[in-house]
Amino acid sequence: MISLAYGEGINHVCFNVPDIDWETEELVKKGFRIVQDAKRDGVRVEDYLDTREFGNIFLSFRPLQTEEVKKRKAGYRIVDWKFLGHSAVVKDVDNTIRYYQSMDIASVQPPAVFDSSSIENLKAHGKTPKTAIRAKTRVFNIGPVSYELVQPIEGEGIYKENLDRRGEGIIDLTFVVEDLERETAKLAGKGVPVIFSGQPRTGSAFAFFDTRKEGGDAMIKLVQRVSG
């Protein structure tokens, strides 16, 4: 059952597509319901489809951006971060993956496990966790946007904390950075605390920053870019 008392947070992800009407109707044929359909002079300019059943995330479409809009948005860039996507906590990773695959819009990566024993210098709320933290994870991509689905299975990390407190849904905005230590120092200087961080033995260092209170109940996650 979908909760209607969600509160603050990221509730949808919007994609610019070449043919908004075609993309919308393809999902409608698969049984997805349009919950908001905005038109201007009879032309659809944005819609929302109810894809909340697994993951509590709406999907929306907009037409491709004009060159004027692209130039204007390019001027807003104030930090050298590259947007990667989102982490989302879910109750059942496998069901959620099957759900998005049923739309025929997602490319899915193999299953993985988040295991604190394979992460060096792991810190949660500034301390080394006393117990193991494990979670099932799956990553899927829709166009350039990456979603990391996380199903907590052991321990009291931020994934379980968010799932218990607010239910399924997106918990962060994820960016790739050139120098994680430098960006961490910048945010610390602004009073933004690191809530969860570590260095996987076979992956990139990461840090979650607790921007939830004043940032719409969403964290910022920064990931170290791999050189080469």
Closest CA to 194 of 87, 143, 136, 121: 121
46 and 89 co-located in one domain: no
**Domain tally, the chain:** 2
Task: Give 153's pLDDT tier (boundaries 50, 70, 90).
Answer: very high
Residue 89 shares a structural domain with residue 67:
no
User: What 3-state DSSP class applies to 34?
Assistant: strand
- Residue 97 maps to a domain: yes
Exposed/middle/buried for residue 170 (C-beta within 10 Å: 0-12, 13-18, 19+): buried
The pLDDT of 123-138, averaged and rounded, is 94
Are 88 and 54 in the same domain?
Answer: no
- 68 and 169 assigned to the same domain: no
Under the banding of pLDDT at 50, 70 and 90, the label for residue 183 is very high
Identify the domain containing residue 53 by its residue range. 12-73
Q: What local confidence, expressed as pLDDT, does residue 195 receive?
A: 95
Cβ contacts of 53 within 8 Å, gap of 6 or more: 2, 99
> Whole-angstrom Cα distance, residue 105 to residue 214?
33
Is 74 in contact with 64 (CB distance < 8 Å)? no
Q: Lowest mean pLDDT: which of 69-73, 132-136, 154-158, 200-204?
A: 69-73
pLDDT in tens, 27-76: 999 999 999 999 999 999 999 999 999 999 999 999 988 777 666 666 66
pLDDT at 19 over 80: yes
Q: Please report whether residue 185 resides in a domain.
A: yes
Are 54 and 88 part of one and the same domain? no
Within-domain flag for 138: yes
**pLDDT at site 3:** 46
- Residue 19: inside a domain: yes
- Is residue 37 a part of any domain in this protein? yes
Q: What is the pTM of this model?
A: 0.87
- Is pLDDT of 26 > 90? yes
Residue that is last in its domain, among 73, 107, 123: 73
pLDDT tens digits along 76-119: 655 779 999 999 999 999 999 999 999 999 999 999 999 999 99
Q: Distance between CA atoms of 89 and 162, rounded to whole angstroms?
A: 7
C-alpha torsion 107→26→66→43, nearest 10: -160
Q: Do 95 and 21 share a structural domain? A: no
Residue 36's domain is classified under what CATH number?
Answer: 3.10.180.10
77 vs 169, residue with greater confidence:
169
> Are 89 and 157 members of one domain?
yes
Using a 10 angstrom Cβ sphere, with 0-12 exposed, 13-18 middle and 19 or more buried, the burial of residue 154 is middle
- Cα(217)–Cα(161) distance, integer angstroms: 13
Percentage of the chain surpassing pLDDT 70? Answer: 92
What is the percent of the chain where pLDDT is above 90? 79
